[in-house]
């Protein structure tokens, strides 16, 4: 459960004999997953019957990763990649309390691995939740700016998917409907109305389905660089990158800025100001490592487009 609910009535489950773990409200690392898994093994002599993940994208991802690691053994970093999880995880239920990341439906659970400059999840059929409870009333207390940053993750997933080389009719259909809903929510006068919260929860689900069936593009790799080097949360980092994507997604960048203006959301500027050459080199390395989305966006010779100089220039504008 998201640490946000530590003193909330939802945390009363702890008294029922279930093991309740509050998850830190930041991007989980492979070390975090190893620690949570070790604690469950220590406190329970048999595997849990079910894992219930309640919270935002990070809590969803922790639930999925721990469920897989419990049955597959070893350390979390061994499963960072594609289809490395051999056995089904523990039966897992997702209950999102924030909309946008699509973590409730995606086939990955993103983890930071700072030793390897790597932000990558367990991309696997076994990472998908067995059941979901989608209740938009759970997002009523989300701070406005976080609601926006996270909701826009759905928008970004879909514009990246629709601009990729890995397109097909199914992913496109999910993406298009998700974008319709995002547009309706973020161009409305009150993005957090009951109707808006309901629409955004569905958009998040559809956006997750879109990328579960395709790949992201240029935004997410650069955003991963910001998360690795500057510790920026995923959705905030996405917005910082999306704001400067005019060279890759000109119309979508302008539309993103229109949504920001309509909702009165300021995107942080100058986040890379004052960084030294070594930090820019790490930003480059931790972005360029994401081959699959970058090949999806730019083709197999993506390194010729995203040279270290070009990537450095992009980050210097952020």
In the complex, the residues that contact Fe ion under the rule CB under 5 A are 153
Reduce the DSSP state of residue 192 to 3 states and report it.
Answer: coil
For 89, what's the count of Cα atoms within 13 Å in the CB-facing half-sphere? Answer: 32
Which residue has the closest beta carbon to Fe ion?
Answer: 153
Locate 21 and state its tokens: 């773990």
Q: How far is CA 86 from CA 6, 47, 78, in A?
A: 34, 17, 12
Name which of 301, 299, 306 is nearest 165 in CA terms: 299
Work out how close the CB of 58 gets to Fe ion at its nearest, in angstroms, rounded to a whole number.
12
**Is the Cβ of residue 56 or residue 89 nearer to Fe ion in the bound state?**
56
**Least spacing, CB of residue 260 vs Fe ion, in Å:** 17
Q: Given the complex with Fe ion, which of 121 and 196 has the nearer CB atom?
A: 121
What is the Cα–Cα distance from 33 to 237, expressed in whole angstroms? Answer: 22
Smallest gap from residue 90 Cβ to Fe ion (A):
25
CB of 65 to Fe ion, least distance (A): 16
Pick 69 or 159: Cβ nearer Fe ion: 159
3 state SS of 118 = strand
Residue 142 CB contacts under 8 Å (≥ 6 apart), including other chains? 97, 98, 150, 192
- Buried b vs exposed e over 222-238: b needs ≥16 C-beta within 10 Å? bbbbbbbbbebbbbbbb
As measured in angstroms, the least distance from the Cβ of 161 to Fe ion is 11
CA pseudo-torsion sign 156, 221, 167, 132: negative
Is residue 313 within 8 A of residue 246, CB to CB? The reply is no
In the complex with Fe ion, the residue whose CB is nearer, 35 or 230, is: 230
Q: How far is the CB of 129 from Fe ion (least distance, A)?
A: 17
Q: How far apart are CA 242 and CA 264, in angstroms?
A: 16
Which residue, 2 or 153, has its beta carbon nearer to Fe ion? 153
Q: How far is the CB of 41 from Fe ion (least distance, A)?
A: 30
Choose between 21 and 156: whose C-beta lies nearer to Fe ion.
156
Token pair, residue 212, equals 């579960």
For residue 132, the cross-strand partners are 94
State the Cα–Cα distance between residues 119 and 27, nearest whole angstrom.
Answer: 10
Cβ closest to Fe ion, residue 153 vs residue 252: 153
């Amino acid at each position: 459960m998201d640490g946000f609910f530590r003193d909330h009535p939802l945390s009363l489950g702890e008294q029922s004999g279930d093991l309740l773990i509050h998850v830190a409200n930041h991007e989980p690392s492979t070390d975090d997953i190893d620690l949570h898994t070790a604690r469950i093994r220590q406190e329970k002599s048999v595997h849990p019957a079910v894992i219930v993940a309640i919270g935002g994208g990070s809590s969803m991802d922790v639930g999925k990763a721990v469920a897989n690691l419990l049955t597959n053994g070893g350390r979390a970093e061994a499963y960072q990649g594609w289809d490395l999880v051999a056995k089904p995880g523990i039966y897992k239920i997702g209950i999102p309390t924030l909309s946008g990341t699509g973590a409730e439906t995606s086939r990955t659970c993103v983890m930071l691995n700072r030793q390897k400059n790597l932000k990558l999840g367990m991309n696997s059929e076994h990472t998908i939740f067995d059941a979901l409870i989608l209740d938009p009333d759970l997002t009523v207390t989300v701070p406005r700016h976080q609601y926006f940053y996270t909701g826009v993750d759905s928008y970004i997933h879909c514009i990246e998917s629709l601009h990729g080389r890995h397109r097909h009719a199914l992913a496109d259909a999910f993406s298009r409907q998700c974008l319709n809903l995002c547009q309706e929510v973020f161009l409305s006068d009150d993005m957090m109305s009951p109707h808006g919260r309901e629409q955004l929860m569905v958009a998040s689900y559809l956006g997750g389905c879109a990328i579960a069936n395709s790949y992201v593009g240029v935004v997410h790799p650069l955003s991963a660089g910001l998360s690795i080097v500057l510790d920026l949360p995923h959705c905030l980092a996405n917005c910082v990158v999306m704001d400067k994507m005019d060279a890759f997604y000109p119309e979508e960048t302008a539309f993103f800025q229109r949504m920001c203006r309509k909702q009165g959301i300021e995107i942080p500027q100058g986040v890379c100001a004052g960084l030294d050459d070594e930090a820019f080199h790490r930003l480059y390395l931790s972005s360029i490592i994401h081959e699959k989305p970058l090949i999806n966006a730019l083709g197999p010779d993506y390194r010729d487009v995203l040279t270290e100089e070009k990537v450095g220039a992009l980050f210097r504008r952020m």
